[in-house]
Chains A and B, each alone.
Chain A
Amino acid sequence: MKYYRILKAYTRVSLSRMVSYRADILFRFAGIIPVFLILIFLFSIPFQYQSELAGWKKNEILVVLGMYYIAEGVAWSTFKSGIGTLERMVSEGTFDCILIKPVSPAYVLSLIDIDSTRIADIVVGSFLIVWVLMQSSIIPGVWEIAGTLVSFVAGLAVSYSLYLSVNTIVFWTTHASVRHVLQPVYGASRYPAEIWGEAIGRVLVWMIPLGLIAGVPAGMLVGKLGIEWAFYATIIAMVWIVGARLFWRTGLKLYVGVGS
């Protein structure tokens, strides 16, 4: 209950901050639509020459793109912005303000800078998926939808764990900005893992499971992957969450709280 109240409070702060800068909302929403349309167009270029790319049809790849936008939208409008502030807090020594609160520091850090403007990503991603499914007459069954939801949540958990782990490195390096490396890597999950070839594809699903963020949920939604993938995704996500949590606690012990 306490954690829910914290979530509510931070969301309220974020929304009021968002409406304080209305031009920024306009930039965000006006910017994303042309970018999104151009991306859809880009994805369709290879399909002008043949019907499949690495075993995926055009509509299926567009569902992956839509899923990626939803996942990134959810991630940024919940934990990514907040975790991204860790480097500044550690280097300025202001992370103490988080540590003295009687709740999990990782939880507060995740919610401290919710970026509500990224709801735009969720809206356009959802619209694309619904539109593609209607265009291609794909009607997912109950199991497909359930599996998609489970693997989507697992993908988000992986995304959270990866982002938290990479930012945790800041306890050792202070000024690394290592998250800047990870963000472009996330871009790889815009496409099905098979595009990167068999070996890299396997790494992207099983080891650094960026493929879980969009590729697996989208694959389940369009019926390319079976329900067992929801189980695999859950197991992988749990391993990553435990790993990230251990790494975070190790890093936390190194925090000296004086800035640098």
Chain B
Amino acid sequence: MRKLRSFITIGLHAVTTYRLIIVVWVLSGIIEPIIWGVLWFVAARDSGLPLSQGEVFSYYAFILVISRITTSWTFDDVRSDIFQGRYSKYLLWPSGLILYRFGFAVSHALISIVSLAPFWVVLFMWGVSNGLITYDLAMLPFALATVLLAFSIRFSIDMVLGHLALWFGRTEGLSIAYRAVSRILGGIAVPLMVLPDVIGRLAMFLPFKYIYAFPAEILIGTVSLREHVFGFGIGGLWVLGMMGILVVLGRYGLRNYEAVGI
């Protein structure tokens, strides 16, 4: 725990050294959900989607925060460490790469929450004053728990995909495809409620929904108790599965590591 706290502190120091990066993070992270949100907001007004404009607004207001908290650069950092031969130093550390990266991801999430808060409060108040926000405050503890779950899912998947560079060298194509798929099936590009049943059901078994859409749906009160339990179960299984794969990848992948960049 002390080591993790140290890594979080290092991460916080690293980020706050270049404060403009924080502004960049906030802006780059909120622009995409805003663009998609405006599109579906217009579609809800013009084309009679099964969602009202208020529901679309609330959904994207919550997605904005959740996507910021769960966004991490772990995949890109790990793959570039391996590709450029910087992975060696982590092999020498007694605490290892996982704890270091986890500490950094937590520090990024903390900074994201703090830096996004003023903007989000203004957005929320504007939504309330215009009658666009629907939320269920009683669901807040559950939503917080799902955000923690979402963070763990995202981190474990990022670590696994990052380690694939031990086999394939360059995995930029995978990174691009992963980002696109996770945004679509995670509910950023489209609220999952408007997707047809087949894709909606498929999304229930994939991890992406539990990284973004699930906590937002809980907050706006569209998730039943059964879906809660199911979501936690599936999300937990994904974390366990990914951590198991990561252990195997770390052990066997090291044999392919050339230490001088691939």
Contacts and interface: CB of A to CB of B under 8 A. Distances in A.
Q: Are both chains from one complex?
A: yes
Interface of A: 20-21, 23-32, 34-35, 38-39, 42, 45-50, 53-54, 115, 117, 173-178, 180-181, 183-185, 187-188, 191, 195-196
B174 to A, nearest CB: 4
A117 B177 CA distance: 12
B169 interface: yes
A35 B180 contact: yes
B39 interface: yes
Given A177-B21, A178-B24, A181-B28, A31 B180 contact: yes
Contacts of B144: none
A221 to B, nearest CB: 22
Contacts, number: 113
B27 A53 contact: no
Interface string B72-106: 00000000000000000000000000000000000
Given A28-B173, A42-B190, A49-B48, A195 B42 contact: yes
15 contacts: A21-B168, A23-B171, A24-B168, A24-B174, A27-B168, A31-B173, A31-B178, A38-B185, A45-B43, A50-B47, A115-B172, A173-B18, A178-B20, A184-B28, A185-B31
Interface in B1-58: 18, 20-21, 24-25, 27-28, 31-32, 35, 38-39, 42-43, 46-49
B181 interface: yes
Nearest to B83: A21
A132 B240 CA distance: 44
A45 B121 CA distance: 31
B184 interface: yes
Query: Which range contains the number of B residues in contact with the other chain?
Result: 35 or more
A50 B46 contact: yes
A147 B147 CA distance: 49
A53 B168 contact: no
Contacts of B171: 23-24, 27
Contact of B27 (A27, A39, A115, A181): A181
A174 B21 CA distance: 10
A contacts with B: majority SS: helix
Contact of B24 (A26, A30, A47, A180): A180
Nearest to A38: B184
A177 B195 CA distance: 35
B138 interface: no
A45 B48 contact: no
A166 to B, nearest CB: 10
Given A21-B168, A31-B173, A177 B24 contact: yes
B125 interface: no
Contacts of A54: 42, 46
Interface in B223-245: none
B189 interface: yes
B194 interface: yes
Contacts of A32: 176-177
Nearest to B26: A181
Given A50-B48, A180-B24, A25 B173 contact: yes
B166 to A, nearest CB: 12
